[in-house]
Amino acid sequence: MNNDRINNNGHKKLIGMQINKIKKKNLEEGGENESSKKVQNSEVNNKIEKIVSITNNHHDKKNYKTNNNLYAKNFQQNNHINVKNTQQNKNNNKDVKSEIVYKISVCVDGKVKMQPSNGEVAAFLSTKTNAEYFHKNKEWVFGAEHFAEVEKILRLNKCNFTRPPTGVMRIVMENARKIKSKDLDESPELKGGIFDKLMPFQKRGVEFALSKEGKVLLADEMGLGKTLQALAIAWYYRKEWPLLIVSPASLLHTWKDAVESFLFVYAVVVREKADLGGEVSIISYDLVSKHIVDLETQGYKVIICDECHNIKTANAKRTQSLLPLLQDAKRCVMVSGTPALSRPIELFSIFQALCKGLFRNQHEYGMRYCDGKRGYNNSYDYKGNSNTCELTYIMENKFMIRRTKEDVLKELPQKTRKQIQLKVEDESGGKATKIEKTVNTIASHYFIDTKENSGGAKKYNKYNKNEKNVSDDVMEQYRTAAHLKKDVVTKYIKGLMEMDRKFLVFAHHSVMMDAIEQCVQNMGVRYIKIDGKTTVKKRHKYVEMFQEDEYCKVGILSLTAASTGLTLTAANLVVFAELYWNPGTLMQAEDRIHRIGQKSDVEAHYIVCSGTIDSVVWPYLIKKLNVLQKLGVGENNLKNVGVGTDTGKTLRDYVE
């Protein structure tokens, strides 16, 4: 543009010089009369037009030549740039071989898996004796000692791949080294006192904890005596006391009795600051936040954390208060028969307590093991599950021991489950039919998880009130189900009492519990009732009454207030009047009767009514138990449950 401006200025200057020259010449020649002046002016104008025309033609030719030269130059430059970019693209295509992402993960047995296969990696692994290729899945399974070389090959070839976190691979390599060198931990001698009260499998649990230097998750199935094992571990480290026990408020006195019975040590239940300072202090989760400063001052090095799934929510106040205390403890015994009630993200706080630093943050854990996905407002959804075999390996080799009753108590009575299908009586002018249509809509929008609609945030995760994310229509149907079911449930309960059965019945809503209580009272049967309003002292009294009084036939219990910490083995039948969203809660409730001390075969009856939210919750429970089973922290026995139907004639077909 500047060159154009210069050329135009030069053009104007040249014309001006020519005009001035002509005018000067005409003045010198002179001419007095007007006619001669007109002739002279006419000649001047003609000459000027001729000069301008010639100059313009010359300028146009010059510009045309200049523009052609510029065009050619620009074309050459652009062509050179295009050729250069094309070459760079070819080089880039060489750098990134393809869009394939190679996935490396750890198997349950500690070996490493890579999927799919890769030519360079295959050439290396094919020469190793402890590497095997599985054609069906197009994957290599190889010893952990080859991981570093495989990773190096993938990096050198600029391949895209995912791999386990560094801390996880450190655990895998350390275990591989111990197995190879046979450098296994020796079991300490456990004799005398509380150790003599341990059954063989319980002693193995204590030995496992000691091999992990007192940082352990006791995840045995409910009813296998985790309390006794936890106290034995704490007693082994008694020189490092004082001991702190954290438990739900409903179990404070259960722990006090256990400490004083097995260890012969006085234990104090903490209510206020003045209660701290003893050799053994027992405090509820609810009071930890209130007394956290005083607890930190005590400097506890040995802590038992009972029902540790209570800290499953990472951003909860109780978790944020308690976690630093657990991390600072030299020995930390976490206890729970259901460490994850429904999904892997619930285990993250336990990882933080027992092996701080294994994962950089919750995001790394969530993306690796919870099928993390970006949600709304740049947040992430960690409600799925992924790499479950790897996660199971880490837990079992780093801190968790879990045994089921089938594993260790062959002589324990059998437990059978039955789905009792009852039909809701539609006496409300078609209301039940309308509700059934609503339930079907809820199922299709919130709980059905198919591959076709798996994109984005999964809608079925909008289910748990504890997570504050249940839609109003789902919860409304849950409450409505209690009203619709209460008549058929009480009819069923009445039939059990007529057969003189001793049993527990679990419910969630007060309308259901009140209806059952009224039914029992009308039958004149002695009973106990434990819900959220029952004080700790009364709970203790009611449990003793149910266990010792043969005429006390019915226990009416709240699913949320009485599913843990109670031993009610005097009964051998448990009835679920209502279902619940967390499968772990149901399993815990079952094991109030199926535990050490039970002499008879145990039955669990689940009442499921079509046309209510039950038809959605039941398949959902089976789905979530499948996830927990893969993680090794739960068993899915509901999928093989038997089915009974209320015929209106007799109940013996599915009770006896």
Write out pLDDT tens, residues 505-525.
Answer: 999 999 999 999 999 999 999
Angstrom distances, CA of residue 3 to CA of 11, 120, 469: 12, 59, 69
CA distance 73 to 359: 58
The pLDDT assigned to 330 comes to: 96
- Residue 6 DSSP SS3: helix
Q: How far apart are CA 228 and CA 203, in angstroms?
A: 10
Select the more confidently predicted residue: 274 or 331.
331
Collapsed DSSP state (helix, strand, coil) of residue 315:
coil
Could you tell me if 347 and 318 are in contact, meaning their C-beta atoms sit under 8 angstroms apart?
no
Cβ contacts of residue 416 below 8 Å, gap of 6+? 601, 602, 603, 604, 642
Is residue 61's pLDDT more than 70? no
Q: Is the confidence at residue 59, as pLDDT, over 60?
A: no
Q: How many residues does the chain have?
A: 656
* Structure-model confidence comparison of residues 595 and 358, the more confident one: 358
Percent composition of the chain: helix, strand, coil (DSSP 3-state, to 5)? 55, 15, 30
pLDDT at 84 over 70: no
Judged against a pLDDT cut of 60, whether residue 591 lies above it is answered with yes
pLDDT tier at 227 (50, 70, 90 boundaries)? very high
What pLDDT is attached to residue 635? 57
Residue 166 burial class via C-beta count within 10 angstroms: exposed 0-12, middle 13-18, buried 19 and up: exposed
Treating both helix axes as pointing N-terminal to C-terminal, what angle do 431-442 and 472-498 enclose, rounded to 10 degrees?
Answer: 120
Q: What is the pLDDT of residue 5?
A: 44
What is the distance between the alpha carbons of residues 489 and 498, in angstroms, rounded to a whole number? 14
- Segment 106-114 shows an average pLDDT of 93
pLDDT (mean) for 244-263: 91
> pLDDT at residue 325 above 70?
yes
Confidence at residue 546, expressed as pLDDT on a 0 to 100 scale? 95
287, 247 Cβ separation under 8 angstroms = no
| SS3 state at 655 | coil
Q: Which CATH code fits 193-408?
A: 3.40.50.10810
Do 499 and 554 form a contact (C-beta atoms < 8 A)? no
Whole-angstrom Cα Rg for the chain: 40
Handedness of CA 325, 331, 333, 334 (dihedral sign): positive
> What was the pLDDT predicted at 557?
95
Contact 367, 81 (CB under 8 A): no
Distance CA 441, CA 155 (A): 49
Say which CATH class 415-654 falls into.
Answer: alpha beta
The runs of H, that is alpha helices, within 96-159 are 119-125, 147-156
Across 2-23, average pLDDT: 51
pLDDT band with cut points at 50, 70 and 90 for residue 177:
confident
Residue 424's CB is within 10 A of a number of other CB atoms, namely 22
Q: Residue 143: its pLDDT value, please?
A: 93
Mean pLDDT over 466-482 rounds to 66
d(CA 372, CA 457): 10
For residues 613-637, one letter each, b for 16 or more C-beta atoms within 10 angstroms of the residue's C-beta and e for the rest, the string is: bbbbbbebbbbbbebbebbbbbebb
281-295, 365-379, 536-550: the lowest-pLDDT one: 365-379
The pLDDT of 61-71, averaged and rounded, is: 46
Q: Please tell me the predicted confidence (pLDDT) of residue 4.
A: 45
Lowest mean pLDDT among 150-154, 406-410, 436-440: 436-440
Give the DSSP H/E element, type plus range, for residue 212: none
The H or E element containing residue 609 is strand 602-610
pLDDT value for 437: 56
Tell the residue number behind the tokens 């009586």, with chain if given. Answer: 425
The number of angstroms, rounded, from the C-alpha of 271 to the middle of its chain's C-alpha atoms is: 34
pLDDT for 28 beyond 60 = no
More confident position, 264 or 640: 264
pLDDT band at 96 (very low <50, low <70, confident <90, very high): very low
Higher pLDDT, residue 477 or 380: 380
253 burial (CB, 10 Å; 0-12 / 13-18 / 19+) is: middle
Q: Which two tokens stand for residue 559?
A: 């699913």
Q: What is the pLDDT of residue 560?
A: 87
pLDDT band at 90 (very low <50, low <70, confident <90, very high): very low
Q: pLDDT at position 648, please? A: 34
Indicate the average pLDDT of the chain. 78
User: Is the separation of the CB atoms in 215 and 354 below 8 Å?
Assistant: yes
Over residues 137-160, mean pLDDT: 93
Tell me how crowded residue 167 is: count the other CB atoms within 10 A of its CB: 16
Instruction: Return the structure tokens found at 132.
Output: 């095997």
Choose the weakest-confidence range: 6-10, 337-341, 351-355.
6-10
Question: Considering only 18-32, 321-335, 475-489, 584-598, which range has the smallest mean pLDDT?
Answer: 18-32
Instruction: Check whether 627 has a pLDDT greater than 90.
Output: no
Q: Spell out the alpha helix ranges (H) of 213-262.
A: 226-236, 252-262
Lowest mean pLDDT among 275-289, 400-414, 517-531: 400-414
pLDDT at 37 over 70: no
Mean pLDDT of 134-143: 92
Peptide bond into 200 cis (omega under 30): no
Q: Whole-prediction pTM value? A: 0.63
Q: Choose between 472 and 228: higher pLDDT.
A: 228
- Report the pLDDT averaged over residues 421-426: 75
Percent of the chain with pLDDT over 70: 71
Query: Of 591, 545, 586, 540, which Cα lies nearest the Cα of 569?
Result: 591
Dig out the tokens for 147 from the structure: 């991981």
**Of the listed ranges 319-328, 479-488, 626-635, the one predicted with least confidence:** 626-635
Instruction: Answer whether 477's CB lies under 8 Å from 612's CB.
Output: yes
Helix axes 388-398, 362-369, angle to 10 degrees: 120
What does the DSSP assignment read for 533-576? TS-HHHHHHHHHHHHH-TTEEEEEEETTTSSSS---TT--EEEE
Does residue 552 register a pLDDT over 80? yes
What's residue 38's pLDDT? 45
Please give the pLDDT value at position 254: 86
Higher confidence at residue 292 or residue 17?
292
Distance CA 340, CA 309 (A): 6
Higher pLDDT, 591 or 652: 591
User: Judging by DSSP bridges, how do beta strands 503-507 and 267-269 pair with one another?
Assistant: unpaired
Q: What percent of the chain has pLDDT over 90?
A: 46
Band (pLDDT 50/70/90 cuts) for residue 599 is confident
Q: Report how far residue 168's alpha carbon sits from residue 483's, in angstroms, rounded to the nearest whole number.
A: 50
Residue keyed to tokens 């109003």 = 472
> Which two structure tokens, joined as six digits, stand for 481?
């189900």
What are the tokens at 525? 């049967």
Please give the Cα distance from 446 to 459 (Å, whole number).
5
Closest CA to 314 of 342, 341, 348, 290: 348
Give yes or no for a contact between 392 and 108, defined as CB atoms under 8 angstroms apart: yes
Q: Rounded to an integer, what distance in angstroms lies between the CA atom of residue 208 and that of residue 196?
A: 17
CA–CA dist 487, 515 (Å, integer): 8
